Amino acid sequence: MEFSINKGNPAKQRCASVVVGVFETRILSEAAKTLDKSANGYISNILNNGDMEGKPGSTLLLHNVPNTICNRVLLVGLGEKSVFRDREFRSAIRAAFNKLHETGASDASLFLIDVPVKNRKIAWKISHTVIVAMESIYRSDQLKSKRNNDKQQLQKVILSTTGKVDSITGKEALQWGLATAHGMSLTKDLGNLPPNICTPTYLAKLAVKMAKNYKLKATILEQKDMEKLGMGSLLSVARGSSQPAKLITLEYWGQNKKEKPFVLVGKGVTFDTGGISLKPAADMDEMKYDMCGAASVFGTIAAITQMRLPINVVGIIPATENMPGGKATKPGDIVTSMSGQTIEILNTDAEGRLILCDALTYAERYKPEVVIDIATLTGACVIALGNVASGLLSNNNKLATELLIASEQAADHAWHLPLWKEYDEQLRSNFADMANIGGRAAGTITASCFLSRFTKKYCWAHLDIAGTAWESGKKKGATGRPVPLLTQFLTTHATKKSSGKKS
Ligand code: BES
Ligand code: MN
Ligand code: ZN
């Protein structure tokens, strides 16, 4: 799908479909008004007949609209004008593209970026149109023997305005949207891959390939290297598996190397059976998504590479399977982490924190500006926040606020949870420095408390994406989240820096 921006009159678009918005109740958007005028009230007549109210998500396809030179006009319901915000804008775009795909149109001219969205400039609307459009064509069918041959029909999309868009602003917004969409698509592809293909070795090879193609730096630490570093916690998770664990780093230096890097640490459990604390069988296949944190690090680095962001970013991915086996870690085992702190493993299914803690200690060597870890860490987060928001915990309130702002801007929701000392006490162990679980209460918070014991030397935030990284049920598939949030956060920092305002 190709995108361009153009100023024009909706009645004069020579293409398969012209798309205009209609608010509830039957209030025409500016572009719809222009079209209606040329068509001598044809559209308002139809609306007055009761064929469309403008309800959010509704669409109405019109043929032979008088005095137009397009094949069809697609009316898209925008809902109530007074509450037309980010969510409503994106839903309207989604509805428009779903309908366009149904019609099989090869090109379309969308007059939707003119519609006012509270507190959003045109650049935001352009970027998000691109992201939502790219999402609408995403398929994961590489492994079907007969690929669904509904070849992509919508090839050319013109984001049209009746006003003017500054060409640099427009171009940058398009590029931002395309890069983010590209990153999300990579993240989805990796998440959706089956666990027999997407192994730690597969992820390591991908990092090496990306480094080659995009001039990044990849380093793969093997198990013996990790032993030397004393990563006893990470390695304890890999013990039950016949797939060797890898510690992958992927570095993007978009700026002077003297500038401290932003470090992203992604949980890469390529399959989580629970280990000896085995999970129940129902839906266990979904634990192939337990590497979505890692996938989002790959996706974010792909996105910022594509847009050549002037910032330094290091991705660190601890990758392993969590399997039961003769050599597997047992409940009650005590291991020593790279930090020197000892951990009593009371539940081998709380493995994410065990691999992350060593990766977080390893992150110290980069003298990071900030460290953000991304992990499908706790089922408790799904109970607390559902599939809507990622859990956000941090040892620094300024960083947490910046991430919340980025999440809003990216329409990739996150919610701040507390990291108070009272919760940390739940990790007490009689035999080691800490236990790896803190009981049923506040599971997302105690998991973060565990991580926070390894992040004292820098500014750190944790994103629990257990509820947001993939969808279950009929629409089972990875979502590409939180690539938009992370990309937005890094973009904001890069822009701040390049304009000389130190954050
Ligand atoms: N990968 C899971 C978390 C998870 C579970 C994500 C379900 C999404 C859906 C993680 O490794 C895990 O098993 N966590 C345990 C921790 C518990 C043993 C303290 C959990 O949440 O049950
Ligand atoms: Mn687990
Ligand atoms: Zn897990």
Per-residue confidence band for 503, with pLDDT thresholds at 50, 70 and 90: very low
Residue identified by tokens 């590489």 is 142
Give the residue ranges of DSSP H helices in 1-121: 30-38, 42-48, 86-103
Nearest to 464 by CA among 410, 423, 416: 416
* Alpha-carbon gap, residue 155 to 133, rounded angstroms: 11
Top mutation candidate among 349, 423, 437, 472 for ligand 1, by most atoms within 8 Å of CB: 349
Catalogue the long-range contacts made by 209-217 (C-beta closer than 8 Å, 24 or more residues apart).
Answer: 210/250, 210/298, 210/301, 210/302, 211/250, 214/302, 214/305, 216/250, 216/251, 216/252, 216/301, 216/305, 217/249, 217/250, 217/251, 217/253
Q: How far apart are CA 67 and CA 48, in angstroms?
A: 20
User: In this predicted structure, what is the pLDDT of residue 502?
Assistant: 45
Q: Please indicate whether residue 267 is annotated as part of the active site.
A: no
Q: How far is CA 414 from CA 136, 280, 340, in A?
A: 23, 29, 32
Q: Are 202 and 286 in contact (CB under 8 A)?
A: no
Could you give the CA distance from residue 96 to residue 385 in angstroms, rounded to a whole number?
A: 29
Residue 396 Cα to ligand 2 midpoint, Å, equals 27
Q: Cα separation of 279 and 283, whole Å?
A: 10
- Which residues on neighbouring strands pair with residue 22, listed in sequence order? 28, 77
- Residue 342's Cβ-count burial label (10 Å; 0-12, 13-18, 19+) is middle
CA of 436 to the centre of ligand 2 (A): 11
Give the residue among 295, 252, 250 at the shortest CA–CA distance from 494: 252
Residue 279 has pLDDT above 80, yes or no: yes
What is the distance between the alpha carbons of residues 27 and 44, in angstroms, rounded to a whole number? Answer: 9
Residue 471 has pLDDT above 80, yes or no: yes
Q: Which ligand has an atom closest to residue 445 CA?
A: 1
pLDDT, tens only, 254-278: 999 999 999 999 999 999 999 999 9
Residues having C-beta closer than 5 Å to ion ligand 2: 272, 349, 351
Non-local CB neighbours of 50 within 8 Å, separated by 6+ positions = none
Mean pLDDT of 489-498: 90
Distance CA 270, CA 268 (A): 6
Q: Is 420 exposed, middle or buried (0-12, 13-18, 19+ CB in 10 A)?
A: exposed
C-alpha–C-alpha distance, residues 381 and 389, integer Å: 9
Query: Which 3-state string (H, E, C) describes 143-203?
Result: CCCCCCCCCCCCCEEEEEECCCCCHHHHHHHHHHHHHHHHHHHHHHHHHHCCCCCCCHHHH
Q: Residues 175-215: pLDDT tens digits?
A: 999 999 999 999 999 999 999 999 999 999 999 999 999 99
Which amino acid, one-letter code, is at 452?
Answer: S
Q: What percentage of the chain reaches a pLDDT higher than 90?
A: 96
Neighbours of 251 (CB within 10 A): 20
Question: Residue 495 has what pLDDT?
Answer: 84
Catalytic residue among 188, 353, 453, 481: 353
Identify the pLDDT of residue 133.
Answer: 98
Residue of 347, 378, 390 best suited for mutating to test ligand 1, as the one with most atoms within 8 Å of CB:
378
CB 107 within 8 A of CB 82: no
This prediction's pTM:
0.98
Q: Give the integer Cα–Cα distance in Å for 270 and 250.
A: 18
Q: Evaluate whether 43 touches 186 at the Cβ level (below 8 Å).
A: no
Does the pLDDT of residue 477 top 80, yes or no?
yes
From 108-112, 143-147, 177-181, the region with the lowest mean pLDDT: 143-147
- Secondary structure, 3-state, 300-318: HHHHHHHCCCCCEEEEEEE
The residue annotated as part of the active site, out of 85, 94, 279, 457, is 279
What does the alpha-carbon distance between residue 54 and residue 22 come to, in Å, rounded to a whole number? 5
CA of 406 to the centre of ligand 2 (A): 29
CA 350 to ligand 2 center in whole angstroms:
5
Report yes or no: 470 and 382 within 8 Å, Cβ to Cβ. Answer: no
Which ligand sits nearest to residue 436's alpha carbon?
A: 1
pLDDT given at position 152 = 67
Q: What average pLDDT does this structure show over 375-389?
A: 98
**Cα 37 to ligand 2 centroid, rounded to whole Å:** 61
Q: 416 and 397 in contact (C-beta within 8 Å)?
A: no
Kindly give the number of the ligand 1 atom that is closest to the alpha carbon of 378. 21
Of the pLDDT bands very low, low, confident and very high (cuts 50, 70, 90), residue 151 is low
Asked whether residue 148 carries a pLDDT value surpassing 80, the answer given is no
Task: Please report the atom of ligand 1 found closest to the CA of residue 322.
Answer: 11
Closest CA to 300 of 272, 348, 262: 262
Q: Residues lining ligand 1, CB < 6 A? A: 272, 290, 347, 349-352, 376-380, 382, 437, 443, 466
d(CA 330, CA 334): 9
Q: Would you state the torsion angle of the CA atoms of residues 36, 41, 45, 51, taken in this order, to the nearest 10 degrees? A: -10
What order do you get walking across the sheet with 434-435 strand by strand?
334-336, 342-344, 434-435
The yes-or-no answer on residue 474 being catalytic is: no
Could you tell me which residues come within 8 angstroms of residue 344 by beta carbon, excluding any fewer than 6 positions away?
Answer: 332, 333, 334, 429, 431, 432, 434, 435, 436
Find the 283 Cα to ligand 1 centroid distance in Å: 13
Can you name the residues that pair with 248 across neighbouring β-strands? 220, 317
Task: With a cut of 50, say whether residue 492 has pLDDT above it.
Answer: yes
Which listed ligand is nearest to 376 at the C-alpha?
1
* Section 300-324 average pLDDT: 98
Residue whose CA lies nearest to ligand 1 atom number 9: 379
Q: Has residue 294 got a pLDDT over 50?
A: yes
**Per DSSP, what are the bridge partners of residue 434?**
343
Residues of the chain with pLDDT > 70, as a percent, come to 98
The residues near 23 (Cβ < 8 Å, ≥ 6 apart) are 29, 54, 78, 79, 80, 81, 84
With left for phi above 0 and alpha for psi between -120 and 50, is residue 337 left, alpha or beta? beta
Q: State pLDDT tens for residues 251-260.
A: 999 999 999 9
CA proximity to 327, closest of 236, 245, 246: 236
Upper half-sphere CA count for residue 12 (Cβ side, 13 Å):
7
- Which atom, in ligand 1's list, is nearest to the CA of 290? 1
Work out the pLDDT band at 406, boundaries 50, 70, 90: very high
Q: Is the dihedral of CA 118, 124, 126, 131 positive or negative?
A: negative
For residue 351, the ligand 1 atom closest to its alpha carbon is 11
pLDDT at 501 over 60: no
